[in-house]
Structure 1
Amino acid sequence: MNRRADDFILRKRLFSRRSLLLGAASSGGALLLGGAGTGRERGTAKADGGFGFDQVRLRAAALASRPYVPPDETMPAVLRDMSYDEYRAIRFRPSEALWADRDGFKAQFFHRGFLYRRQVRVSVVEDGVATPVAYRPDMFDLGGLDVPDVPDLGFAGLRLHHPAGGGSTGDEFAVFLGASYFRLIARGQEYGLSGRGVAVNTGGSEPEEFPDFTEFWIERPGAGAEEIAVLALLDGPSMAGAFRFRLRPGDTTAARIDASLVLRRPVGQLGLAPLTSMFLHGEHGPAGFDDFRPEMHDSDGLLMRDGAGEWSWRPLANGRPAPLATGYPMAGPGGFGLMQRDRDFASYLDVQAMHERRPSFWVEPRGDWGRGVLELYEFPSLEEYNDNIVASWVPGRAPEPGRPLDFGYDLTVIDGGTGLHPLGRVTGTRIGSAERLRPTVPPSPERRFFVVDFEGDGLPGHGADLAADVTASAGAVVEPVVEHVPQTGGWRLYFEYRPGGGGPAELAARLMRGDRVMTETWRFTW
């Protein structure tokens, strides 16, 4: 990994406030969401009893039947007490990578130390046989540190490389480091948002839990392989689980994910396919950031498609006085993702961070996940290294302790996600005082003026008869107006909103041409 990517991930982990982050059918005693695989697909588990996903599922079930034991954090004091800069100085030697002498996929490892004290074990699976990867100090350039040669020290995590993937300065495309977090990028992108194995009690009244990926198995790819499989064992106070990631890097990196979770005890809220990101400030605020950069975020909105096929865009926000949880009930999720839709350097003006190159993650459940709620959490933040945004699917019926919950989904790493549907898309949300335009006596500072921009090849040109469909769950929408924007070829919606008091209101708007829906639905919480 290049130094800039390493530094980004470490600083994210150092400054993130971990307390903020980050209908089913019965089948053999397991709840099935989306028909997760049995492990006998594409050679991942062998019919002759070789090691594969089935074996990891059995280990997870066995773990969940026993009391939780935290992962080992035993290590020499020089590693436990090291500084951030000392940890940054540790470098894995590329010559020690798995399959370093071959073209194609390679795997490297993170050293334990600093914040990363929990031991992660790694094995390689070949011909159905799992062989542990032994830690050796000479795998790393330790940056001048005198580290004792500790047998079986293990690793903190792993990273994957392939010539078809990787950011602007290297061929790395995947990182598994810390709790159940994983980062992925497509070709030419820079690291940004993260995926997680599971979210437990995020934003709820109970303390949030962060289960760990405690063990990984990497299937040795064949010559010329375009896909690599990584198996992972999850363990935490409330649950254990098995995961399989089948990763295909490229211009769009694809991850086919299967999972099986077994609860030790009931949880207040279980989030599946969670995504976590950062939003500090953007085109619609908040005001008051003394920052030379016009915008600062890894994602600017939540894109979602419900089971009925409606597409919606929810801009992200910061600056509220308290955390906000917004739930979108659905009969079943058609898909959802945190998007970095704005790809224009002029929106950010940060030469080093390159926020216009941050990835977008799109999640598509396999099969029917049943009724539930797509939950979005927005936590107030003053620091760009806080991952203060979390989105996940919360099933309407949580599994009972001891009963496996099997599910699968496809995660695609893309740019702005503009090709996911043919409708006009939201390209801007701006909010200001309605008093500036229409002063009242006495003044009414609570009145807000919203401006929403829509663009897309499917939208008509100047002279078309488009109308606005705008609603609010509380308060009043006043005089919505739609006009064509010749500078962009898109359309702009203006409306005044007068809050009704009594808590947050849900606003929604879309453009219509007669009875035909022309755009995705813009949604916002005020």
Structure 2
Amino acid sequence: MRNLPVTVTSTPTLVRRDGSPFRRYAALAFGFMTLISAQSVFAFGFDDVADQARSLADQGYNAPQSNLPDSLSNLEYQKYSQIQFKPQYSLWRGDNLPFDLSFFHEGMHYNLPVTVNQVVGDDVSKLQYEPQQFDFSDSGIDPSSLPDDLGYAGFRVNYALQSENKQEVMAFLGASYFRVVGANQRYGVSARGLAIDTALSSGEEFPRFKNFWVVKPDKGDKYLTIYALLDSPSATGAYRFVLRPGQDSIVDVKSKLFLRRQVTKLGIAPLTSMYLFGPSQPSDDLNFRPAIHDSNGLLVNAAQGDWLWHTLMNPKKLMVSTYPADNPRGFGLMQRNHEFGAYQDLQDRYDLRLSAWIEPQGSWGKGQVELVEIPTPNETNDNIVSYWRPTGDLPTDQGLEFDYRINWTKNEARYHTSDLGWVAQARRSQGEVRQGNLVRKTDDSTMFVLDFVGPEMKSLDSDDGVKADISLGDNGNLVRSSVEPNPAMGGYRLRLSVKAKDGAKPVDIKALLRNGQDQPLTETWSYTLPANG
């Protein structure tokens, strides 16, 4: 066994939710592992993982079995969070490399071990779990009672973003979930390798990364390469992640999928986030925070150049929205407002939560972006899911390739076109009119106030004939609407009040601004007013 010298690092970035279906995971500090005998004498690469995925798909699915003793599986969150990895065991900590790895202990619902391998030149070596690598603190766990072959629940990647001290920039934990962060950012939206049958009554299937291979970087490298093997009852897959940390961190994803059966819903490049309440859906309970959410909208750039912004909500019943997107240019779950005053939360700092923008590489074919919004009573649940879904039957006798880039950013303006205005804020309220005596009178309609901003919006004036283009589907009535300049924000404000024809059905609302020549001035705003909403 080889141990590396001790190097003390700064406190790692907090990880909020756990990447398992709609739960939270704790932030732990971790460190290195031991290497065991070399398993290979060839240069390991993506094709090797793809060969394993293809071979695995030809076999029947073997469900993994938990190896946790009851003492670990019955832990509550607070106790589990006490199990922290010792920094001195971090992989590569003593090699003066730009990256090092640390690891998550199994416990609670993290009851399945993953295999993590190190790739050094022609050598592939498995990393070995040992209880001594962890500080069990006040968890109540006696490390001497644990078997040596437990394994790891996942791992984190550490990198020096802003100083000589490394911080966590990427984490894999739970199913196929992973998260990435850049400079001056907090974890919020997370990604998954694959989504299968999300929001179907038959139940969702959660594929998992069972094997990882991490390529040891050179001293001057600004990137880290990670390979992963995915497995589930319906599919297998080979993945390559190239992480480039920075002010805005980037992950380039190469994937090749093999289906064991025809899948009803195959979700490519899935993102998961949380929305509890905000200006477009104020809290039912008195709360000093104006908003609690990791993302406030889904942005879609379809192949034909259309831009759509769907304001998120926390519905009372599960809601699924679809948007046509053949060969999409991009989509993502975004946190557009980064003003502290919009959240007023010093602990969770939702103003620092990042956005995730997916840029497909190559041709993805025909499909649609799907958004799933799930009811949640509190902010501990990830209740928002988005992904691209191919339409039509998919072949089960050949690999399916989907490559894409994930941009993790707080600079959302970079990911929408400058010649169209965008929704800076969407506020929902009871419908109202100002009477002749200046007193506002409310009615039974629902009012939305939308502020569109952007470089082109600033140069508009009243002679440009700015007007609203509003669509309410088959179940909506437009009660009133108005458009006026908003000099405070350098854009235009649209007010619209709507009523449902049938209160037991939702109203699908879309709106954008056009000029006097009927050309679009803004992206399209989308919102679904729920039944009896």
Q: Aligned letter for 1:109?
A: F
The more displaced of 274-283 and 145-154 is 145-154
Query: Which of 154, 179, 182 is 1:183 aligned to?
Result: 179
Tell me if the contact between 1:72 and 1:119 (Cα under 8 Å) persists in the aligned partners: no
Q: Aligned letter for 2:160?
A: P
Q: Which fold has the larger relative contact order, with Cα–Cα distance below 8 Å and residues 6 or more apart in sequence?
A: 1
Q: Aligned letter for 1:112?
A: E
Q: Aligned letter for 2:150?
A: L
Corresponding position of 1:395: 390
Corresponding position of 2:132: 138
Corresponding position of 1:371: 366
Within 5 A, what are the aligned runs for 1:50-65?
A: 50-65=43-58
Corresponding position of 2:36: none
Deviation at 1:450, TM superposition (A): 1.9
Whole-angstrom CA distance in 2 between matches of 1:353 and 1:287: 17
Q: Find out whether 1:447 has 2:454 as its counterpart.
A: no
**Distance change (3 Å), C-alpha of 1:323 and 1:156:** same
Gaps of 5+ in 1: 19-47
**Distance change (3 Å), C-alpha of 1:470 and 1:485:** same
Corresponding position of 1:267: 263
The more displaced of 234-243 and 287-296 is 287-296
Whole-angstrom CA distance in 2 between matches of 1:447 and 1:100: 61
Q: Aligned letter for 2:44?
A: F
Tell me if the contact between 1:363 and 1:409 (Cα under 8 Å) persists in the aligned partners: yes
Q: Aligned letter for 1:104?
A: P
Corresponding position of 2:494: 493
**Distance change (3 Å), C-alpha of 1:15 and 1:360:** closer
Q: Find out whether 1:482 has 2:475 as its counterpart.
A: no
Corresponding position of 2:430: 433
Taking only aligned residues, the RMSD between alpha carbons, in angstroms, comes to: 2.5
Deviation at 1:525, TM superposition (A): 1.5
Q: Aligned letter for 2:485?
A: H
Q: Find out whether 1:332 has 2:324 as its counterpart.
A: no
Tell me if the contact between 2:22 and 2:383 (Cα under 8 Å) persists in the aligned partners: no
Whole-angstrom CA distance in 2 between matches of 1:374 and 1:119: 32
Q: Aligned letter for 1:216?
A: F
Corresponding position of 1:458: 456
Q: Find out whether 1:9 has 2:17 as its counterpart.
A: yes
Whole-angstrom CA distance in 2 between matches of 1:5 and 1:322: 34
Query: Which of 120, 125, 134 is 2:114 aligned to?
Result: 120
Whole-angstrom CA distance in 1 between matches of 2:162 and 2:92: 17
Whole-angstrom CA distance in 2 between matches of 1:261 and 1:377: 23
Corresponding position of 2:156: 159
Q: Aligned letter for 2:330?
A: G
Deviation at 1:286, TM superposition (A): 4.1
Q: Aligned letter for 1:68?
A: Y
Tell me if the contact between 1:281 and 1:296 (Cα under 8 Å) persists in the aligned partners: yes
Q: Find out whether 1:93 has 2:86 as its counterpart.
A: yes
Tell me if the contact between 2:450 and 2:493 (Cα under 8 Å) persists in the aligned partners: yes
Deviation at 1:270, TM superposition (A): 0.9
SS of residue paired to 1:79: helix
Within 5 A, what are the aligned runs for 1:30-41?
A: none
Whole-angstrom CA distance in 2 between matches of 1:220 and 1:7: 24
Whole-angstrom CA distance in 1 between matches of 2:337 and 2:15: 24
Q: Aligned letter for 1:510?
A: L
What is the count of residue pairs matched by the alignment? Answer: 490
Corresponding position of 2:33: none
Whole-angstrom CA distance in 2 between matches of 1:273 and 1:424: 27
Whole-angstrom CA distance in 1 between matches of 2:264 and 2:435: 47
Normalized against structure 1, the TM-score is what? 0.88
SS of residue paired to 2:376: coil
Corresponding position of 1:45: none
Deviation at 1:75, TM superposition (A): 2.9
Whole-angstrom CA distance in 2 between matches of 1:139 and 1:174: 20
Q: Aligned letter for 1:132?
A: K
SS of residue paired to 1:434: strand
**Distance change (3 Å), C-alpha of 1:461 and 1:120:** same
Whole-angstrom CA distance in 1 between matches of 2:443 and 2:24: 33
SS of residue paired to 1:243: strand
Whole-angstrom CA distance in 2 between matches of 1:209 and 1:457: 44
Deviation at 1:82, TM superposition (A): 2.7
1:31-81, Cα deviation, whole Å (9 max, x unpaired): xxxxxxxxxxxxxxxxx9521111111111111111211224113333233
Whole-angstrom CA distance in 1 between matches of 2:377 and 2:286: 11
1:79-133, Cα deviation, whole Å (9 max, x unpaired): 2333322211111112211110114111111111222110101001111321111
Tell me if the contact between 1:212 and 1:235 (Cα under 8 Å) persists in the aligned partners: yes
Within 5 A, what are the aligned runs for 1:270-289?
A: 270-289=266-285
Q: Aligned letter for 1:408?
A: D
Corresponding position of 1:468: 468
Deviation at 1:5, TM superposition (A): 4.7
Tell me if the contact between 1:470 and 1:480 (Cα under 8 Å) persists in the aligned partners: no
Whole-angstrom CA distance in 2 between matches of 1:61 and 1:445: 61
Tell me if the contact between 2:281 and 2:313 (Cα under 8 Å) persists in the aligned partners: yes
SS of residue paired to 1:191: coil
Deviation at 1:206, TM superposition (A): 1.5
Deviation at 1:424, TM superposition (A): 1.2
SS of residue paired to 1:133: strand
SS of residue paired to 2:329: strand
Corresponding position of 1:28: none
Within 5 A, what are the aligned runs for 1:197-236?
A: 197-236=193-232
Whole-angstrom CA distance in 2 between matches of 1:464 and 1:485: 15
Whole-angstrom CA distance in 2 between matches of 1:444 and 1:347: 26
Corresponding position of 1:41: none
Q: Aligned letter for 1:450?
A: F
Tell me if the contact between 1:165 and 1:173 (Cα under 8 Å) persists in the aligned partners: no
Deviation at 1:209, TM superposition (A): 0.8
Tell me if the contact between 1:71 and 1:119 (Cα under 8 Å) persists in the aligned partners: no
SS of residue paired to 1:55: helix
1:188-213, Cα deviation, whole Å (9 max, x unpaired): 11111110011111111221011111
SS of residue paired to 1:123: strand
Whole-angstrom CA distance in 1 between matches of 2:156 and 2:24: 23
Q: Find out whether 1:109 has 2:117 as its counterpart.
A: no
Within 5 A, what are the aligned runs for 1:336-355?
A: 336-355=331-350
Q: Aligned letter for 1:244?
A: R
Deviation at 1:321, TM superposition (A): 2.8
Whole-angstrom CA distance in 2 between matches of 1:81 and 1:116: 11
SS of residue paired to 1:325: strand
1:367-393, Cα deviation, whole Å (9 max, x unpaired): 121111110011111111110000011
Tell me if the contact between 1:462 and 1:486 (Cα under 8 Å) persists in the aligned partners: no
Whole-angstrom CA distance in 1 between matches of 2:362 and 2:15: 38
Normalized against structure 2, the TM-score is what? 0.87
Tell me if the contact between 1:228 and 1:247 (Cα under 8 Å) persists in the aligned partners: yes
Whole-angstrom CA distance in 1 between matches of 2:162 and 2:20: 24
Q: Find out whether 1:84 has 2:77 as its counterpart.
A: yes
Tell me if the contact between 1:96 and 1:139 (Cα under 8 Å) persists in the aligned partners: yes
Corresponding position of 2:6: none
